[in-house]
Structure 1
């Protein structure tokens, strides 16, 4: 009789351990080390000569689309963006290498966070084979060297559950708030203006935006905007004014993203009749960042 090891097609996740999220020492440890993983300067002004903010936004959106397409773990994309920002803050790079760098960052983060990491071949495919597997593997060593192999970065997602377990959120709403908060942290990762904010502040602002957006203040006065901001500031040891400004910026980013999404859908509807003729000049995968390389 032959024995087969059959692995399921779906990923089985471990349950969250409340003892970890309610232990104050764990949260304080994250708050203590988070600054090590934040770019210390605006690299567009001091380091990068060829790469502009709009190019960073384009590559970030492309990376997000690839992670969504591959159904990556929710931590893969923000961690990859953390690697991208830290690398760009240290080493001047030409725009022709930006997509290669983004691919390498996804390659590394998926190895750390996903049970089924992205393959080098698949990432090359998502670039329309504009990069080779050899280039990807060579640049993997370059990125690891520049980041000194310090890859276990603290990201906003690491704080979400710690914050949620300290808020008076109804249990039946907890998963919804968590889902919205993680969506907002991913959205923040695409915006370079938020790149230098501490991960705990991004997480707290995202949770605040999620709670306010879901109107949970109707269920508990402690979740009203002002009371919630004060509570979030205490949890993350953040200045109230700084946190309030961060949350307002996150909400503006969200509003802009929704507006752009509506505009895109309208333009897509107008162009639908010409889509067949245009496909010859367009990429068939989420890879179209060719404007960056021109």
Structure 2
């Protein structure tokens, strides 16, 4: 007896595959959050002294990486995961400044393989560097990066907590979609800020959801920042003090971006 598996991949008008539907049965299961919380970790260990490259070059590099991911219409998780790889590598290994763009390409290349339905091609990434980086270099450094990361690539991201958090809020379908878009934008922008790298993804997720809800005022002042944080804390059991400090920083950063 032969078994055949026929998979129908739905596509949008741009012929790009559409991601699977969100399964509320899974996202509402408390075991999902428990597993995420037990597996999460910050990109940089708290107390780690940042290098000069992280202080001065990282903002430029991550800004360029964000533009590439947006131009290629990557899934929202690709850029934060690429920055996670970047921070982990840079916090443990010295990298020449002339090689940082190559490292950024490799991080995006690798992250797209894990979180993108159609991974970025090495040749396309070379184009974004004006051919300062070659395909053989990307492939060679890909092996180097995964070895430096001990092949530990399945990182938990702030966006992984998004659906469990949104389902706890009394939002309409339209408001939920609007909040989701803002939160994903906030998560991407927070990845460009080095100070967020020392916080756990769950804390970043809580801060971004709170900042989006407060900014959009979709709950009509039903919850203040502290009350909303308490509600999210009950869902994820996240430290209230750390999250509150993140929210303050989050609102300050993202209120300056007119594009959101």
TM-score calculated relative to the size of structure 2: 0.90
Find the aligned partners of 1:157 and 1:7 in 2 and give their Cα distance: 23
Contact 1:111–1:117 (CA under 8 A) maintained in structure 2: yes
Find the aligned partners of 2:242 and 2:10 in 1 and give their Cα distance: 47
State which of 14, 21, 24 in structure 1 corresponds to 2:20: 14
Partner of 1:283: none
Matched, 1:26 2:32: yes
Consecutive unaligned residues of structure 1, counting only runs of 5 or more, are 262-294
Contact 2:44–2:197 (CA under 8 A) maintained in structure 1: yes
Partner of 2:3: none
Using the TM superposition, give the Cα deviation of residue 257 of structure 1 relative to its aligned residue in structure 2, in angstroms: 3.7
How large is the RMSD of aligned CA atoms in angstroms? 1.9
Contact 1:83–1:105 (CA under 8 A) maintained in structure 2: yes
Partner of 1:77: 79
The equivalences for 1:271-286 within 5 A come to: none
Which stretch has the larger CA shift, 164-173 or 187-196?
Answer: 164-173
Which stretch has the larger CA shift, 234-243 or 197-206?
Answer: 234-243
Matched, 1:113 2:115: yes
Contact 1:44–1:53 (CA under 8 A) maintained in structure 2: no
Q: Secondary structure at the match of 1:217?
A: coil
Partner of 2:160: 158
Matched, 1:207 2:209: yes
Contact 1:27–1:159 (CA under 8 A) maintained in structure 2: yes
Partner of 2:243: 243
Q: Secondary structure at the match of 1:174?
A: helix
TM-score calculated relative to the size of structure 1: 0.80
Q: Secondary structure at the match of 1:213?
A: helix
Using the TM superposition, give the Cα deviation of residue 224 of structure 1 relative to its aligned residue in structure 2, in angstroms: 2.8
Find the aligned partners of 1:134 and 1:104 in 2 and give their Cα distance: 11
Partner of 1:224: 224
Using the TM superposition, give the Cα deviation of residue 44 of structure 1 relative to its aligned residue in structure 2, in angstroms: 5.0
Partner of 1:290: none
Contact 1:43–1:88 (CA under 8 A) maintained in structure 2: no
Find the aligned partners of 2:37 and 2:161 in 1 and give their Cα distance: 9
Using the TM superposition, give the Cα deviation of residue 43 of structure 1 relative to its aligned residue in structure 2, in angstroms: 5.2
Higher helix content, 1 or 2: 1
Find the aligned partners of 2:232 and 2:86 in 1 and give their Cα distance: 28
Q: 1:198-244 CA distances to partner (integer Å, 9 max, x unpaired)?
A: 000101100000000111231x72x3322111111222212222211
* Residues 6/99 of structure 1: CA separation in 2 closer, same or farther (3 Å cut): same
* Residues 130/44 of structure 1: CA separation in 2 closer, same or farther (3 Å cut): farther
Partner of 2:146: 144
Q: Secondary structure at the match of 1:117?
A: coil
Consecutive unaligned residues of structure 2, counting only runs of 5 or more, are 1-7
* Residues 211/6 of structure 1: CA separation in 2 closer, same or farther (3 Å cut): closer
Contact 2:9–2:17 (CA under 8 A) maintained in structure 1: no
Find the aligned partners of 2:37 and 2:155 in 1 and give their Cα distance: 12
